Structure 1
Amino acid sequence: MAPNTKVQPSSMPPEEEEYVKLVAPQAADRKYEIIYTNIITFTYWHLAGLYGLYLCFTTAKWATIIMSWLIFVSAAIGVTAGAHRLWAHRTYKAKLPLQILLMVFNTFAFQNTAINWVRDHRLHHKFSDTDADPHNATRGFFYSHVGWLLVKKHPEVKRRGKLIDMSDIYSNKVLVFQKNYAIPFIGMVCFILPTLIPVYCWGESLNTAWHITMLRYVANLNITFLVNSAAHLWGNKPYDKNILAAQNLSVSFAAFGEGFHNYHHVFPWDYRTAELGNNYLNLSTKFIDFFAWLGWAYDLKAVPVGMAKSRAERTGDGTNLWGWGDKDMADDERGGAEILHEKD
């Protein structure tokens, strides 16, 4: 789809009249200002990760691989159930112990601080696939996957970032702690401890432990990046055919349930990020459900089946992943009613 470079007059308040409405998909001509230190850093991370993958098959101990896998899963949950569903979209509420746990998990992922992640993600939803979207998918796969981190932010991202309400996030002491102590805390949790524990606890070599840490880290990065890139470029659009965000099963499998992206952009307030019946690949939803059962997560928000189905019929592309109206749909609808009753 060709980028739309046109803008429309804004309906924003008078004090913000200088802002014009960006119509997606939109990407005006721009000059990229490359951040060379980021290119060097990302190149090293990925080369080190590839070497770590080689070491997994040659010298690494099983304990190191298992520990890295557990941290990988925890880091993914910290992004999906934490930064994304809890803090960015407020799709549910969490008691302090769960917030602390998710903050630590999010620190394993190190995708900047959770506060910065939330700001960028709220901006992404408010101005999706335009120049005010930090990872504007209109500019193609590479840009939306990682290229946006290798160049300076588009001026519209900086300008419109000021419009994002972050008061709830800056009043969260758990997230403020992570931001205030970002360098020592993230460095220790994400890189140093996962490297030193295998060395001192079961005799792994420092070289192997470090490079497998790098492998785990870049794997987490790229899985999150796929939601920004692949899930905005390829897949079905059963809920809104007029947006770039799409349903992508492969991304959902890799990203713990985050690939039902067309649904998510239509209903960003649903804690599942996927319609009822599509949670077989949704480990993050199962994680939240477990802590809801435990009493640490509550006020879970979910879209009624009828509302989702009605929207699909009105603006969808007529396709689906699992099959609205299939022979199991009646059972799904009854199950959905029970789930909503329990969460309300």
Structure 2
Amino acid sequence: MSIQSDPLKFRRTENDSIHDEKINSLAPHPKKWDIVWREVIIFTIFHITAIRGLYLFITVAKWQTCIFAFVLYIATTTSVTVGAHRLWSHKAFQAKLPLQIILLFFFTMAFQYSAVIWARLHRMHHKYLDTDADPHNAGRGFFFSHIGWMLIKKHPEYRAHKVDISDLMRDPLLRFQHKHYWEVLFIICFLIPTYIPTLWGEQASTAFYTCVCLRYICALHAIWLVNSAAHMWGTKPYDKNIRPVETKVVSLLAAGEGFHNYHHTFPWDYRIAEFGGYSLNTGRLFIDIMAKIGWAYNLKSVPDELIRKRVKRTGDGTHPIWGWDDPDLPLEERRMSIIK
């Protein structure tokens, strides 16, 4: 059996911190989909209204409305990648109260359920990567990892609350959002984005379809691509034995999240990538700006020496510095390399 088809086999020999008994005792996720029809109906309706929003965006929406919708797209995707992901799921940095409020406000507008639920799902993803308990296991194909996992009942391991989120529940802001999510959702996600464009004369219906529905679906698919495409098509310069890959297109759409092989190798790094710069990692740009004004602090990152050692130990050879194209690679080693 290959490493690709049995990733846990490699992980147990490569990383002694994996608990064999925990993995081996996992209940298999039923391959027959136990569909949650409520979710199917909701997502179907939103996709239909998003198509209507795209038509209005192109034909009749005022330019101010188009810009506003794009700004909301940037703000909501950033709130997911910087807030729910790097701040709350991984504790990659800490944030002062004003920044926490801003991130939580736009994360609520992103309509991806409470930050506590999002972080619990993501911690499950890291804990059970490439297993049946991985909520969006890419081993089950693109459709499942992209959207299908949202339409079925979750694995028993998730429903049993096996991941610790006590740190999140001690946060009064997150606890409030989790408890009152559906009440504040209507105001922040639906009412405010619909009302604001009317201040410059936009029709409320046009604002709703473009700034709520179209913006929501576009942002949702950008984040979903991290679960699907960023686990399938790309390079693995840091760890060739896991599914997550490096894909710049996803990074462009999702505030830097496409550098996923790096992230799963070093999940505590607030930069979430080694390369790409600010143009492909606007999430890092945002955090660095917040750090400059004192709203973000304790930014965690990985030293170059640790990255170099990991690349040489488990990388696939595509790293631009320590990979095959490394100009410091001895000529003799290059000649002795086997290329199939």
Residues 230/12 of structure 1: CA separation in 2 closer, same or farther (3 Å cut) = closer
**TM-score, with length taken from structure 2:** 0.87
Aligned partners of 2:29 and 2:133 also within 8 Å: no
- The answer for the alignment partner of 1:207 in structure 2 is 205
Shift of 1:190: 1.0
Matches of 2:152 and 2:29 in 1, distance apart?
A: 16
Per-residue CA distance 1:212-234 (angstroms, 9 max, x = gap): 02000011111100000000011
Give the letter for the 1:144 counterpart: S
Shift of 1:155: 2.2
Per-residue CA distance 1:258-315 (angstroms, 9 max, x = gap): 1000000000000000015644411010100011110111110010011111111110
Give the letter for the 1:313 counterpart: K
- The answer for the alignment partner of 2:313 in structure 1 is 314
Structure 1 gaps, min length 5: 330-344
Alignment of 1:59 with 2:60, yes or no, is yes
Aligned partners of 2:7 and 2:241 also within 8 Å: no
Alignment of 1:95 with 2:96, yes or no, is yes
**TM-score, with length taken from structure 1:** 0.86
Shift of 1:177: 1.5
- The answer for the alignment partner of 1:140 in structure 2 is 141
Give the letter for the 1:210 counterpart: F
- The answer for the alignment partner of 1:83 in structure 2 is 84
Matches of 2:253 and 2:244 in 1, distance apart?
A: 17
Q: CA RMSD in A?
A: 2.7
- The answer for the alignment partner of 1:340 in structure 2 is none
Matches of 2:242 and 2:138 in 1, distance apart?
A: 11
- The answer for the alignment partner of 1:178 in structure 2 is 177
Residues 22/215 of structure 1: CA separation in 2 closer, same or farther (3 Å cut) = farther
Runs (4 or more) in structure 1 with deviation over 2 Å come to 1-8, 10-13, 19-23, 26-31, 154-159, 276-280, 322-329
Per-residue CA distance 1:124-158 (angstroms, 9 max, x = gap): 00001211111111111000000011111122332
Matches of 2:8 and 2:166 in 1, distance apart?
A: 32
Residues 80/55 of structure 1: CA separation in 2 closer, same or farther (3 Å cut) = same
- The answer for the alignment partner of 1:333 in structure 2 is none
- The answer for the alignment partner of 2:338 in structure 1 is none
- The answer for the alignment partner of 2:115 in structure 1 is 114
**Secondary structure of the residue that 2:176 maps to in structure 1?**
helix
Matches of 2:220 and 2:36 in 1, distance apart?
A: 18
Structure 2 gaps, min length 5: 329-340
Alignment length (residue pairs)? 319
Aligned partners of 1:245 and 1:262 also within 8 Å: yes
Per-residue CA distance 1:240-259 (angstroms, 9 max, x = gap): 00000000111111111010
Matches of 2:60 and 2:97 in 1, distance apart?
A: 41
